[in-house]
Amino acid sequence: MRKFVLGILVFLLMFPISEIESEAAGSFKDISTNHRAYNEINYLAQGNIVSGTLDGYFRPGKVVTRGEAAAMMGRALNLNGRKRATQFSDVGSQYFASGYIQSAVEAGILTGYKDGSFKPGQIVDRGEMAVIISKAFGYEFGGTLSGAARALISRGISQGTADGSFGADQKIIRADYAIFLARAVNYKLRLTPGISYPADRSVTEDSVPLRTGPSNLYSSLGTLQTGNKVEASYAVGPWVYIRLGSKEGFIHSNYLNAPFGMGNQKILNQQMIVIDPGHGGKDPGAVGYGLKEKDVVLSTSLKLKSYLSRTPFQYKLTRETDKFIELSDRVAFAKQANANVFISVHANAYNGSANGTETYYYASNNSSADSKILASKIQGRLVTAWKLYDRGIKHGNFHVLRENTMPAVLVELGFIDNKTDNAKLASDAWRREAAKAIYWGILDYYKEKGFYVTHLYNK
């Protein structure tokens, strides 16, 4: 009986699916089966990642605008595409890609321009496309066009151009964008299809479909069951390409026991980092060679804020101006903000005879283990970048560490009354180095906690 019902169900389910597939496959009037991008365009069309005109044309030779690129990438990565207000002066809430643009910016995949615009109608060239794909799929590329080109070429996503260059400034057309995007999504479409499976995961529910692409619109290749041990290769938004014995395909990361790849982008968006520049207002903090601690730590913290502003993280500062705040109010602020991480920034003083960088954490509360990891990551990055004496990480019984409930550290950048340290504390360029080091330390911490942050280092 059961088999019979199942048989009918399978029949009913298969019929409309094959109809949809036949409609999608080869449905574009201008994409014949021998078109060079036939496979890639139709693969993406199955997942509604690309679509054509209402009268059935794909227009493969048409250039791609930044707005269109955002929409296609956003659909591939399952970003929130709901039309809404954006942070850009030239992208209104009614613009067709407004939701994808805002989501892609929040995910660190796209950036706007310094003047507050996004230029959605601007045409994308191959170089920009390579950067967008590298960021979207988390390829390490060093933040440069050539690095992004290498990332794509080495994965078999792109060839160089005939003259041996990548052709970074050539305009990209829809057929090429589809080819690159489809190859990034599905490695079997690449010029050299080969991938590794760096992570082990297990499946947490029964009857989880394994699919040919990263959305429920793609056909099922079978199902996985609770406890299946799978090997994970790469992520496409919240979907993960996995292997189980001879079976391979996409599974939604919600059904895996731990985050993998870009699947935790949402979780990153939910992390609140509170930066606490010490002292302020009537309290100058330590003083040396005419320099006040309150000014040094505020300036450094504002630079750190600017790094964080280019990431999906949420962040708040206890002060952004020269004002006095009680220690208890700093703790209350962090708790009120539901901070996941608290970083207090200070500079030291001791008769001019001591020097170097040190980071404190509170060693005997519930978040001590994480506080210690955070302290050691920040200290490591600071000592490398800032090049002052390494005084190490230490337990510190400070109010803002002891009374806070989230992982919390207090960074002492250097000794303001020591001549060598003071020179760096006084320098705007060195403060930027310190801010970047703390930022990288935060990323190191999140990386160690299993978050995907690789693409954020070169922000």
Taking the complex as a whole, the smallest distance from the CB of residue 278 to Zn ion amounts, in Å, to: 4
Rounded to 5 degrees, what are φ and ψ at 251?
-130, 145
How many CB atoms neighbour CB 405 within 10 A? 13
Span near Zn ion by CB under 5 A; candidates 22-30, 281-289, 368-376, 377-385? 281-289
The residues facing 33 across adjacent strands are none
Span near Zn ion by CB under 5 A; candidates 158-166, 272-280, 309-317, 364-372? 272-280
Span near Zn ion by CB under 5 A; candidates 79-87, 282-290, 312-320, 337-345? 282-290
Q: Which of 172, 352, 137 has the alpha carbon at shortest distance from 262?
A: 137
Scan for tokens 């099922």, then name that residue.
220
Q: Which residue's CB is nearer to Zn ion, number 346 or number 372?
A: 346
Question: Which is it for strands 272-277 and 314-317: parallel, antiparallel or unpaired?
Answer: parallel
Under rule CB under 5 A, how many of the chain's residues touch Zn ion? 3
* Contact (CB, 8 A) for 411 and 371: no
In the list 75, 294, 330, 346, the residue contacting Zn ion (rule: CB under 5 A) is 346
In the list 138, 167, 249, 278, the residue contacting Zn ion (rule: CB under 5 A) is 278
Span near Zn ion by CB under 5 A; candidates 33-41, 104-112, 263-271, 276-284? 276-284
Q: Establish if 436 lies at the interface with Zn ion (CB under 5 A).
A: no
In the list 81, 214, 285, 312, the residue contacting Zn ion (rule: CB under 5 A) is 285
Q: Which residue's CB is nearer to Zn ion, number 294 or number 436?
A: 294
How many CB atoms neighbour CB 110 within 10 A? 23
Taking the complex as a whole, the smallest distance from the CB of residue 296 to Zn ion amounts, in Å, to: 10
* Contact (CB, 8 A) for 424 and 300: no
How many CB atoms neighbour CB 43 within 10 A? 25
Q: Which residue's CB is nearer to Zn ion, number 189 or number 349?
A: 349
Taking the complex as a whole, the smallest distance from the CB of residue 346 to Zn ion amounts, in Å, to: 3
Q: Which residue's CB is nearer to Zn ion, number 75 or number 346?
A: 346
Question: Which is it for strands 341-348 and 272-277: parallel, antiparallel or unpaired?
Answer: parallel
Q: Which residue's CB is nearer to Zn ion, number 101 or number 411?
A: 411
**Burial class for 82, CB neighbours closer than 10 Å (0-12, 13-18, 19+):** exposed
Taking the complex as a whole, the smallest distance from the CB of residue 353 to Zn ion amounts, in Å, to: 18
What positions carry a catalytic annotation? 412
Q: Under the rule (CB under 5 A), what is the footprint of Zn ion?
A: 278, 285, 346
